[in-house]
Amino acid sequence: MNDKLYRGFLFIAALVVPVVCGGVVYALVTDAYEAFEYFGFFRFLTSSEWSYTDGAEQYGALPFITGTLMTTLLALVFCIPFSLPVALFVGEYFRDTQVAAVLGTVTDLLAGIPSIIYGLWGFYTLRPVIMALDISEQGSGILTASLVLAIMITPYASSLSAEFIKMVPNDLKEGAYSLGATHAEVVRKVVFPVAGSGIFSSYVLAIGRALGETMTVTMLIGNTNNIPESITSTGNSMASVIANQFGEASDLRLSSLIAIGLVLFLITALINMVGKIMIKRARIS
Amino acid sequence: MTTLNTRNRLLKDRLMTWAVCLLAALTAVPLLAILGEVLLRGYDQLSWSFFTEPTPTAYRAMKAIEAGEPIPGGIANGIIGTMIMLGMAVLFAVPTGILCGAFLAENQKSRFAQTVSYLTDLLQGTPSVIIGIITYIWVVVPMKGYSAIAGSVALFIMMLPLIIRSTEETLKILPASLKEAGLALGGNNARVMLRVQLPAAFGGIFTGVLLAISRVIGETAPLMFTALGCSLIRWSVDKPISAVPLLIWEFFNDPNLQELIWGASLFLLLFVLTLNLIAKYLAKKWNQ
């Protein structure tokens, strides 16, 4: 094969990615247009009404945007107290040991479990616990979904954080030790400040994962179309309302769901981009 | 005073170590809990007929429950559907992904390659439910119906960035001298890529493909609006078809079929986790 042909071949294969991405944006925008045109872009985003009574259809994305933000932030809060110790365990305390490898395998497997199985576990195991503890009556809701989401994003956050913790230069740590610092002080005063931006960016990427998680949230959030009043009430996230209603929707409702999809796509794209840029910067410095 | 202070600091240090160990160990709890629950509730459902028979209708299942018998049927329709869709997706995603990954590794500095690299990240981060919407708009609407083809397109889009990334990363860490030696022997770029670089990178790429398969095989959301599901065993690609995760979703929503959830989940879980472990083992072996 001559060189030009070879390069052309690779180029065409590489072209697939921009074509798919362009197609994604194009299809979402054109199909969401009807909803945006009918309700107005900002009114669609800020309206909290979602009713499909014939003739008086009203669709607004606010309940689902709120639901997504609440589940994601809550999941992040629940995930940090576990993923940070895992990262320290693997990247600092038991670095390159057999136990760290075992813990690494555990988190890898956690990352591999399909989201529908997380959903089942949340529904049949965690939900009864929440009900028994009298936290909420129906068991499903923002809180239940966030708890399972937190487990799901822990592997992503911890493996990336561990990578940055491992990159902290040894001479810095040794310097601190030679001044008489304890291990805990080294972690707090040397490891965290140096690896901090990297650790932060790994949580940004974990947020990116949590935002779009679909099946788990759909099975656990309770699926009601109103703005959740508290963390124990039911709601819907952007992904879960699409999963729930897309199959039965048509016309304006379908377009509204696709519009929600477009908003979700833009938010995740933005978060992922910010995360990637931060990681790149953290790696260089 | 100083001794007290030192004791305090040492105590804090010990506390911190224990807290890290304890909290880190706690992350194993959900894994064991999920594995345990699925195993305990699912193992007695696995039988020969579970893998060879299609899903029963809700009516048949209801009759069986009323008669106090175990629900007849299994998940053969889902297994076959998953195999067909995954097979088609792999068939297209592997060559495209490898070529694209090779392009990125060869042209690291070009503007276009950097854009493609960024878009690959974008695609990888796109929520799976959106891949489902897109495939619905692209494939289901023009074809006027749900189909295995649509399902495999969705899986293709999900696998592609994973394979591109693993190919690119593996090719990048090959020593430059390898390529130079090939070129010095008189091979052109294509020949060196095909005969030297790709074979040397085979381990990493293969692991990447395995991980990509294990990632998409449990995907439910993108198949809901594309493959839809079907309770018959089907071999045609232009009609709605089932998949194992779709069946789990179906069982979850149908009180009559709920007994079948755990067997199907156990099968899916074991499959995914085994694939994961194999990939990890191979990666370790080939890295040495």
Contacts for B101 with CB less than 8 Å, ≥ 6 apart? B163, B164, B165, B166, B167, B168, B170, B171, B205
* Residue B112, pLDDT score: 94
Contacts of A18 in chain B (CB under 8 A): 115-116, 119
Please give the ipTM for the structure prediction: 0.94
- A189-207: string of b/e by CB count within 10 Å (b at 16+)? ebbeebbebbbebbbbbbb
Contacts for B35 with CB less than 8 Å, ≥ 6 apart? B269
Q: Tell me the mean pLDDT in the region A6-32.
A: 95
* B284, pLDDT greater than 90: no
Lowest mean pLDDT among A197-211, B38-52, B159-173: B38-52
- Whether A74 and A203 share a structural domain: yes
* Residue B73, pLDDT score: 83
Using N-to-C axis directions, what is the helix angle for A238-245 and A62-88, rounded to 10°?
Answer: 120
- Whether A118 and A77 share a structural domain: yes
Percent of chain A topping pLDDT 90: 87
Torsion of the alpha carbons at B82, B83, B85 and B87, rounded to the nearest 10: 150
- Whether A122 and A230 share a structural domain: yes
Average of per-residue pLDDT values in chain A: 94
CATH number of the domain within which A255 lies:
1.10.3720.10
Q: Give residue B14's pLDDT band: very low, low, confident or very high (50, 70, 90).
A: very high
Q: Give residue B231's pLDDT band: very low, low, confident or very high (50, 70, 90).
A: confident
* B2, pLDDT greater than 70: no
Architecture of the domain delimited by B76-287: Orthogonal Bundle (1.10)
The answer to whether residue A178 is domain-embedded is yes
- Whether A268 and A129 share a structural domain: yes
Interchain proximity B268–A114, CB inside 8 Å: yes
Interchain proximity A107–B112, CB inside 8 Å: no
Q: Which of B168, B220, B280 should we substitute to test contact with A (largest number of A Cβ atoms within 10 Å)?
A: B220
Percent of chain B topping pLDDT 70: 99
Would you say the C-alpha torsion B37, B40, B44, B49 has a positive or negative sign? Answer: positive
* Residue B153, pLDDT score: 97
Q: Give residue A283's pLDDT band: very low, low, confident or very high (50, 70, 90).
A: confident
The answer to whether residue A57 is domain-embedded is no
- Whether A172 and A90 share a structural domain: yes
The answer to whether residue A56 is domain-embedded is no
* Residue B1, pLDDT score: 53
Number of domain units in chain A: 2
Which chain B residue shows the shortest CA-CA distance from A123? B252
Q: For A20, what's the count of Cα atoms within 13 Å in the CB-facing half-sphere? A: 28
Contacts for B85 with CB less than 8 Å, ≥ 6 apart? B148, B151, B152, B155, B223, B227, B241, B243
The answer to whether residue A96 is domain-embedded is yes
Calculate how close chain A gets to B28, using CA atoms only, in Å: 6
Give CA–CA dist B105/B198, Å, rounded.
12
Interchain proximity B133–A246, CB inside 8 Å: yes
Calculate how close chain B gets to A164, using CA atoms only, in Å: 17
- Whether A146 and A17 share a structural domain: no
Which chain A residue shows the shortest CA-CA distance from B193? A6
* Residue A54, pLDDT score: 78
- Whether A185 and A121 share a structural domain: yes
Q: Tell me the mean pLDDT in the region B154-179.
A: 95
* Residue A1, pLDDT score: 64
- Whether A46 and A122 share a structural domain: no
Lowest mean pLDDT among A257-266, B1-10, B96-105, B277-286: B1-10
Q: Which of A216, A223, A211, A241 is nearest to A117 (CA)?
A: A216
- Whether A225 and A274 share a structural domain: yes
- Whether A42 and A122 share a structural domain: no
Q: pTM of this prediction?
A: 0.95
- Whether A38 and A175 share a structural domain: no
Q: Tell me the mean pLDDT in the region B122-128.
A: 95
- Chain centroid to CA A82: 16
**3-class DSSP string for chain B:** CHHHHHHHHHHHHHHHHHHHHHHHHHCHHHHHHHHHHHHHHHHHHCCHHHHHCCCCCHHHHHHHHHCCCCCCCCCHHHHHHHHHHHHHHHHHHHHHHHHHHHHHHHCCCCHHHHHHHHHHHHHHHCCHHHHHHHHHHHHHHHHCCCCHHHHHHHHHHHHHHHHHHHHHHHHHHCCHHHHHHHHHCCCCHHHHHHHHHHHHHHHHHHHHHHHHHHHHHCCCHHHHCCCECCCCCCCCCCCCECCHHHHHHHHHHCHHHHHHHHHHHHHHHHHHHHHHHHHHHHHHHHHC
Q: Give residue B95's pLDDT band: very low, low, confident or very high (50, 70, 90).
A: very high
Q: Give residue B288's pLDDT band: very low, low, confident or very high (50, 70, 90).
A: low
Nearest to A85 among B15, B23, B130 (CB): B23
CA angle (B119 as vertex; B115, B123 as ends), nearest 5:
175
Lowest mean pLDDT among A1-5, A209-213, B18-22, B54-58: A1-5
**Domain ranges for chain B:** 2-45, 76-287
Q: Which residue has the tokens 């079907």?
A: B230
- Whether A122 and A236 share a structural domain: yes
Q: For B283, what's the count of Cα atoms within 13 Å in the CB-facing half-sphere? A: 17
Average of per-residue pLDDT values in chain B: 92
* B12, pLDDT greater than 80: yes
Tokens representing B271 are 């499959």
pLDDT tens per residue across span B140-157 = 999 999 999 999 999 999
Q: Which of A1, A7, A17, A152 should we substitute to test contact with B (largest number of B Cβ atoms within 10 Å)?
A: A17
Domain span including residue A247: 65-284
